[in-house]
Amino acid sequence: MTTNRVYKALTIAGSDSGGGAGIQADLKTFQELGVFGMSALTAITAQNTLGVQAVYPMSTEAVAEQLRSIGEDIGTDAVKTGMLFNAEIIEAVAAQIRYYRWPNVVIDPVMIAKGGASLLQQEAVQALLTELLPLAAVITPNILEAEVLTGLTIRSFEDKQEAARKLAAYGAKAVIIKGGHEADPVEAVDLLYDGISFDTFIGTRIKTKNTHGTGCTYSSAIAAELAKGSRLLEAVQTAKQYIQAAIEEQLEIGHGHGPTNHWAYQRRLRHQEQGGVRTV
């Protein structure tokens, strides 16, 4: 009997009852990219495509206990963090990642939901910088999150480069400043800094309101690929293709900002294998 190696990824994030963002988006992404998904909940949100109606943070002990359960038995090949809500949870998460020496830590510094609800307390920003960044294989802020984390105002390409350098100085091995919120009507460009050089990942900008969970999906795709052993550059390339397909083949669900489509990426790969000409 042969047993195939199973690659594992863990999301430490909040629950989105509407299924579009948070751990729901993360686990769907892990599944589609062929890794075994695990989760530790940091908060429960009552949420749909219209916004966040309520936030119920977990106790720090409940978060730590979930991580211990995974660490003592199963282990993981990659970790992705999303909504962490407060400084105590951040400290507990950082302590467990250090204790179990988990590899491939992808930090998505989730701060506010697209509807404006706060998913990270302001006083937790410092803990994120000093506790989590030194553990990060990569951190994936959008422009606003990069501004809050660095104190810079980001307008130009050079501003993005400066912000990336500043975040790397906290100890993150790599930084991706995402361009989803920029005004460019043609492209959505993400900037990767690996501590030495810069790379850009360019997607075609899709005119859509259905971008709920894009950041969660993207960072989870990076974590899944790192779990399987990809180098960061390849992992980001695949994640960019995954998110592009997931936004392009948008799902009309709910009355507000609809979710990403997790079936789209594999469907495209199958189409290409069958000789189709469609490319991302």
Ligand X SMILES: Nc1ncnc2c1ncn2[C@@H]1O[C@H](COP(=O)(O)OP(=O)(O)O)[C@@H](O)[C@H]1O
Bin 80: left if φ > 0, else alpha if -120 < ψ < 50, else beta.
beta
DSSP state at residue 128 = I
For the bound state, the minimum distance from the C-beta of residue 204 to ligand X, rounded and expressed in Å, comes to 6
For the bound state, the minimum distance from the C-beta of residue 111 to ligand X, rounded and expressed in Å, comes to 9
22 sits near ligand MP5 (criterion: CB under 6 A): yes
Residue found under tokens 């989760």:
39
Which partner from the list ligand MP5, ligand X, none does 12 bind, CB cut-off 5 to 8 Å by kind?
none
Query: How many CA atoms lie within 13 Å of 256's alpha carbon, on the beta-carbon side?
Result: 14
Return the structure tokens found at 222: 């990076």
Which partner from the list ligand X, ligand MP5, none does 45 bind, CB cut-off 5 to 8 Å by kind?
ligand MP5
- Closer residue to ligand MP5 (CB): 57 or 215: 215
Q: Cα–Cα–Cα angle for 209, 212, 218, nearest 5°?
A: 120
110 sits near ligand MP5 (criterion: CB under 6 A): yes
What is the x/- site pattern for ligand X, positions 57-96, by CB under 6 A? ----------------------------------------
222 sits near ligand MP5 (criterion: CB under 6 A): no
Direct distance between the N- and C-terminal alpha carbons of the chain, in angstroms, rounded to an integer: 38
Residues 23-62 that bind ligand X (CB under 6 A): none
Residue 204 burial by CB count (10 A; 0-12/13-18/19+): exposed, middle or buried? exposed
Single-letter amino acid, residue 71: G
| 140 among known catalytic residues | no
Q: Cα–Cα–Cα angle for 226, 232, 236, nearest 5°?
A: 90
224 sits near ligand MP5 (criterion: CB under 6 A): no
| 130 among known catalytic residues | no
| 260 among known catalytic residues | no
28 sits near ligand MP5 (criterion: CB under 6 A): no
Residues that bind ligand MP5 (CB under 6 A): 13-14, 16, 21-22, 45, 47, 82-83, 110, 113-114, 119, 212-216
